[in-house]
């Protein structure tokens, strides 16, 4: 079970529910992976719907690693993500929203 107040999001990979969370280390890894000048730019791309598959993959990998997963982006290339690409994009957007939401939200 995930705790949304702790920034956690559930994602199902190959039929197994996993916890994803953008920790500080995961955010640093994400910045390096996407090569964007800032995470604010990435959030703006999601808000405007101008995100790429690479953005989604990087966010999901970072979130999973923040949740304790030891895999890599290459491992997700053949994984069955519940909801397919749309499900993965939903998880990526939720990860960003929860990572930067104020505690009162």
Instruction: Report the C-alpha gap between 32 and 86 in whole angstroms.
Output: 24
The answer to whether residue 26 is domain-embedded is: yes
Residue 66 confidence (pLDDT): 94
Residue 45 confidence (pLDDT): 83
CA 62 to chain centre: 6
pLDDT(11) > 70: yes
Residue 104 confidence (pLDDT): 63
> How many structural domains comprise the chain?
1
Taking alpha carbons only, the member of 69, 73, 82 closest to residue 15 is 82
Taking alpha carbons only, the member of 79, 24, 39 closest to residue 57 is 79
pLDDT in tens, 26-52: 888 888 888 777 788 888 888 888 888
Instruction: Report the C-alpha gap between 49 and 51 in whole angstroms.
Output: 6
The answer to whether residue 46 is domain-embedded is: yes
The answer to whether residue 39 is domain-embedded is: yes
Residue 31 confidence (pLDDT): 83
Domain that residue 74 falls in: 4-99
pLDDT(105) > 80: no
pTM score of the predicted model: 0.88
Q: Residue for token digits 């992976």?
A: 33
pLDDT in tens, 46-88: 888 888 888 899 999 999 999 999 999 999 989 999 999 999 9
The answer to whether residue 104 is domain-embedded is: no
């Amino acid at each position: 079970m995930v705790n949304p107040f702790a920034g956690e999001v559930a994602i199902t990979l190959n039929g197994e529910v996993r916890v994803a969370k953008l920790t500080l280390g995961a955010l640093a890894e994400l910045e390096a992976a996407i090569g964007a000048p800032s995470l604010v730019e990435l959030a703006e791309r999601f808000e405007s719907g101008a995100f790429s598959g690479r953005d989604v993959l990087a966010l999901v990998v970072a979130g999973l690693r923040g949740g304790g997963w030891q895999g890599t982006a290459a491992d997700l290339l053949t994984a069955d993500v519940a909801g397919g690409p749309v499900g993965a994009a939903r998880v990526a957007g939720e990860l960003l929203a929860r990572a930067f939401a104020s505690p009162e939200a």
